[in-house]
Structure 1
Amino acid sequence: MQEIKAKISDILEKLTSETFFYYYIVFVMISLPVTEIFDGRHSQVFASQPIIVEMAGFLGGFLFIVHFIKHRHIKYYPSDLFCILLFVFALLSAFFTQNYSATAFGFYYDEWLSNFVGYFGLMFAGTMIHDKQLRKNILKAFVAVTVIQTAAATLQTFGIRITSCYWFVEEIYSSNLAYGLTQYTNWYGGLSVLLFACTAGIFLFTSNKITRNILYAISMLCFYTLISSEARLAWVGTFAYLVFMAISMSVMRHKCYDKEKLKSIQKRFLILLAGMTIVVIICIVFFGRIITRINRTSNELNSGFDSFGSKRGRIWRQGLKMYPKYWAFGIGLDNFRDVYFLDPDFHGDEAVTSGKAHNEYLQYLVTQGIFQFITYISLLIYTAIAAVRNVIHNEDNEERFINWILLGMFIGYSAKAFFDCNIVNILPYYWITIGMLLTKKSQRHFGYHKMNKAVSEKK
């Protein structure tokens, strides 16, 4: 019996090791786009991806529980508390939902409770990755995803499709828009912000000349497909990333950062901007992109709030109208469409409704309630503060660059989230990024100040 217990304990120890969390993250990252290729070959679009994230949810939840049972005397960190609170409020939203059938059995591009647990599990796994090489390997996995997605998206811009598209087929097929392996242009636009920020960041910070040149080419191709998705939310995210980089370089100069390295980064940043400008000109002159979207934006701004952002204003207004009635735990986990169906003043049909708020923050507020909204916003603020502190004060230059790259990805994606709700096959990458910014050594554990005070008094 003791031998069996020892073997079980050894297995559980390996399951909660840094190495296993690393493989857990990378498996999810790579399998999402790869399985869509095989789904498409068998005319089963968007079939495997939600299931993979659901599996990640069951495994992530199990690993989270086992980790704290197995290691009872470890230090606890704010990220651990956020994981628990996020799950609790998501569970309460599912329990108090106004439409149990949609919450428990919805598909289309709905998110289940298990998918949310997958997000939180991936974030928790990211916080467990401390080894510098493993962190660099995860950035390499982001590059691999960029290559896979960008290859498919580039071919689509020339009318060559290795997979079919389930949503808005006529618009996408007639315009040769890029949707990669995500099934919709807006989804790809959101993901491409994260991928472009990653590849551009590596280009800016790497000391390897070959890596620098390869990543520059990949980032430019990624930016081309980002533009070719014609998702304006991607423009917002990219602009936010560029502003972030400009401000952060200014801060580093003020902090008297290594002048030679900073000068190199600034020079590469200008090269990046020059390349992006050339790509934009090519997209306008040779592919006729961007101009129609600019004209549409101008028309929307002149047509009132409801027309703003492809009628996002009207969607936001409807969500805010119904929020006060379901303020505590929301209208139901990922049941945004019910803000129409439960409104006595609504007399349209499903064709004029929206299944998403097209604003990630409003989506949390309306579907999961004020407590989850506060938790989510607090997590993002905490992540930003911890990441900025880590970039500025980290004495290891390689670690500083890794965190700088991840912070740029986080900022770009968080900005575009004001105009979009990405879904189950996109959001895992964002939650992994958050977790990677909140490694345990980047945070202060609970009782940190009390412990420091005791040490000071002893001295």
Structure 2
Amino acid sequence: MACFFANFFNYCLSRLEKQGTKKTNSFFFFYLVCIMIILILVPFRKEIMLFKFSSLSGEISSGISLEGQAGNQRIFIWQHTIKLLKHFWAFGIGPDSLIYGKLMTPINELVDKAHNIYLEIAITMGVFALFSYLSFLFSLLRKTYNETGFLIFAMIAAYLVQGFVNIDIVAIMPVFWIVLGLALANSYHETDKSLSI
């Protein structure tokens, strides 16, 4: 999340620098105010942070050895979701319906999400949907990777990398699709510039 905001800040700042110092200063002030509000609203308790840091080495070692409890049971969930995928590979089990696969974690919790964007799409909508999604993203990323679109490319790439261990959430998805729209607009802008030269 921090990388996303940093890249978005860089992108906006580079665009504003071309327009003048006054707009850049006002944007910078606005961005700092937003960051301060976010830091105030984010629950930050010392004991939670200490617990997270102290459990980090155990999480890394269990993740490397592919133990089921690694990453809040994610390895276990991925292994069993892949087994379930063999039965629903073409069209999936249905959007947001993984809970009907009746996967249970070792601590008797029902699994409702695959905790991996790509695995989630494959199990709920099928491998054809996953192929379509990846094809769309690949073609968009290919158009975006240019001098002016590098920051947009980095934002999209950062989101897609974190997608290996996380799911799409309602609060973030609109921002992701807005960035995809910016990428598409940037690619059209670059095409128009090359045609006019």
TM-score if structure 1 supplies the norm length?
A: 0.35
Aligned residue number for residue 142 of structure 2: 385
Q: 1:370 to 1:442 in 2, by over 3 A?
A: farther
Alpha carbons of 1:381 and 1:347: their partners in 2 closer, same or farther (altered >3 Å)? closer
Q: 1:367 matched to which residue of 2? A: 124
Judged with a 3 Å threshold, the aligned counterparts in structure 2 of structure 1 residues 433 and 307 are, in CA distance, closer, same or farther, namely: same
Question: Aligned runs of 1:408-419 on 2, under 5 Å?
Answer: 408-419=154-165
8 Å CA contact retained: 1:323, 1:366? yes
Q: Distance in 2 between matches of 1:321 and 1:334?
A: 18
Q: Which residue does 1:429 correspond to in 2? A: 175
Aligned to 1:116: none
Extract unaligned runs of 5+ from structure 2: 192-197
Report the counterpart of residue 73 of structure 2 in structure 1: 311
Higher helix share: 1
Distance 1:348 1:307, change over 3 A: closer
Report whether the alignment pairs 1:321 with 2:83: yes
Alpha carbons 1:297, 1:308 under 8 Å: kept: no
Matches of 2:39 and 2:139, distance apart in 1: 33
Does the CA contact (< 8 Å) of 1:357 and 1:363 recur in 2?
yes
Match of 1:297 among 52, 56, 77: 56
Partner secondary structure for residue 158 of structure 2: helix
| Post-superposition CA distance 1:20-56 (Å, at most 9, x none) | xxxxxxxxxxxxxxxxxxxxxxxxxxxxxxxxxxxxx
**Greater alpha carbon shift after TM alignment, 318-327 vs 293-302:** 293-302
Q: Does the CA contact (< 8 Å) of 1:336 and 1:367 recur in 2?
A: yes
Q: What pairs up with 1:21-36 in 2 under 5 angstroms?
A: none
**1:193·1:413 contact (CA, 8 Å) conserved in 2?**
no
CA contact (8 A) 1:387 1:437 kept: yes
State how far apart, in whole Å, the 1-side matches of 2:47 and 2:15 are.
Answer: 33
Taking the aligned partners of 2:40 and 2:88, their CA distance within structure 1 comes to 40
Answer yes or no: is the 8 Å Cα contact 1:319–1:366 preserved in 2.
Answer: yes
Give the direction of change, closer, same or farther, for the CA distance of 1:339–1:312 in structure 2 (3 Å limit).
same
- Distance change (3 Å), C-alpha of 1:298 and 1:348: closer
Tell me by how many angstroms 1:222 deviates. 7.3
* Secondary structure of 1:418's aligned partner: coil
Paired residues for 1:60-139 under 5 Å:
none
1:371, CA displacement in angstroms? 0.7
Match of residue 165 from structure 1 = none
Identity of aligned residues (%): 22
What secondary structure is seen at the aligned counterpart in 2 of 1:326? coil
Q: 1:211 aligns with which of 26, 32, 35?
A: 26
Deviations 1:315-355 (A, max 9, x none): 111111110111111111121223325xxxx6989x61221
Q: How many angstroms apart in 2 are the aligned matches of 1:347 and 1:433? A: 35
Checking the alignment, whether the CA contact within 8 Å between 2:105 and 2:111 is kept in structure 1 is no
Q: Which amino acid aligns with 1:359?
A: N
Shift of 1:201: 3.5
Q: How many residues are treated as equivalent by the alignment? A: 182
Q: What amino acid sits opposite 1:427 in the alignment?
A: M
User: Which amino acid letter does the alignment assign opposite residue 352 of structure 1?
Assistant: E
Letter in 1 for 2:124: T
- Highest RCO, 1 vs 2 (Cα 8 Å, sep ≥ 6): 1
Unaligned runs of 5+ in 1: 1-189, 230-282, 393-399, 445-459
**CA-atom RMSD in angstroms:** 3.4
